[in-house]
Chain A
Amino acid sequence: MEDTHEGPANATEYIVHHLTNLHLGEGFWNLHLDSIFYAVTLGILFAGSFWFAARRATAGVPGRWQNFVELMVEFVDTQVKDSFHGSSKLIAPLALTIFCWIFLMNFMDLVPVDLLPEIGVAMGIEYMKVVPTTDLNITFGMSISVFLLMIFYSIKIKGVGGFAKELFFHPFGKWMLPFNFLLKLVEEIAKPVSLALRLFGNLYAGELIFILIALFTLSAGGHTLTETLLNVASPDTIAYLIIQVILGLIWALFHILIITLQAFIFMMLTIVYLSMAHEEH
């Protein structure tokens, strides 16, 4: 444990360290404490701040924060009304939660990669992944929840018989029953899998690139920020730092687009999948 305080010895160790979750338990009972901690914290931040606006919401002149919350609600409501033709009390709040929560979790990617882990190390926490959406469990947790809702609504709207009929007799009629089922199975399974993997892939790659950019500091001679600052006099260090700052800035600016887009895509596809579940074929 002592040596981790001195920072990683080489690039590989640094990267692996950054990609390891703080966990509790083994095997299936392995709980990623860092992912859950940040997911819950950001979830509470979202719910709390929006609840704050909702509690003081007035029909009169809205304040700044209420205005922003209403903007988000209106934005999500428009998307839902455009894609989903039915009445459901669940889908719009679901979409709002998905968009805001995923955006906040993605946003952790823009926090400097070493900032929170270093604070964690200072507090005696060895490993820490700060972006919950770079954890497959988190993305699959959400996409499987959406998948269960899809099945629930399919059965609720079409009945068990209707749902079974859709599973077995489409698109090729009753004589191709096993093939139909296989096709439908692939089609349905692909939805949560692609939903989760798309978000995970984008964010994982983004995080990895931030880690690679951060390697410049390591190359500059310091294993930690403090050491780098002590070595700041050397021209090499200065050059590396400038390169890192420029690359980091470019990637962060680009990443603002990605995190918003990924949150939006997850929300939109959820709405679309649920509206498909509501439709009779």
Chain B
Amino acid sequence: MSINVTLFVQMLVFALLVWFTMTYIWPVIRQAMDEREQQIADGLAAADKGRSDLESAEAEAQTIIAAARDQARDILNKASSRATGIVDEARSQGEDEKRKRLESAQQEIDVEVNRARDELRHQVATIAVAGAEKVLAREIDAEAHRELLDRLAAEL
């Protein structure tokens, strides 16, 4: 057991091993580990971002749905009021039509009545004239007494 050249050979081997580890092993492994660390950190950050994105998207979806619901309610309200309006309008038009028809029918009736009355008056006048003719036994000159007869017809 003595110190000899083995020591120097061992120092050389040691130096070579340390150099090898320092050059080809340590930096490579360390780099892989650092990269993975970075990737995991990125992944976690992305997951967080995804979660917050999802939350904001959900909130946005909620507001959109609420707006759509409001709009739908508006449309329904408008539609129903419109429908009421149309029905009312139709009803009033119907009423108008009815009234117009009634009025025109009434007018026609009136005209017809007047005409009938006129005719009746004429016939009465004629009958009266004929009666008077008979009564008076003389022919009345129709032309001469036109004015008298018309006045009589108007009085009837």
Contact = CB atoms under 8 A, between A and B. Distances in A.
Contact of B10 (A59, A97, A138): A138
B130 interface: no
A59 B24 contact: no
B6 A135 contact: yes
Interface residues of B, number: 32
**B interface, over-half SS:** helix
A31 B21 contact: no
Interface residues of A, number: 48
Contacts of A32: 4, 6
A36 B10 contact: yes
A85 to B, nearest CB: 18
Contacts of B28: 54-55, 57
Given A70-B33, A73-B33, A30 B4 contact: yes
Interface stretch (A115-123, A139-147, A222-230): A139-147
Given A36-B9, A73-B30, A73-B33, A46 B17 contact: yes
B20 to A, nearest CB: 5
Interface of A: 19, 25, 27-32, 35-36, 39-40, 43, 46-47, 50-51, 53-55, 57-60, 62, 66, 69-70, 73-74, 77, 89-90, 92-94, 96-97, 101, 135-138, 140-142, 144-145
19 contacts: A19-B1, A31-B4, A36-B10, A39-B13, A50-B21, A50-B29, A53-B25, A55-B28, A59-B33, A59-B38, A60-B36, A70-B29, A74-B33, A90-B18, A93-B26, A138-B10, A141-B8, A145-B14, A145-B15
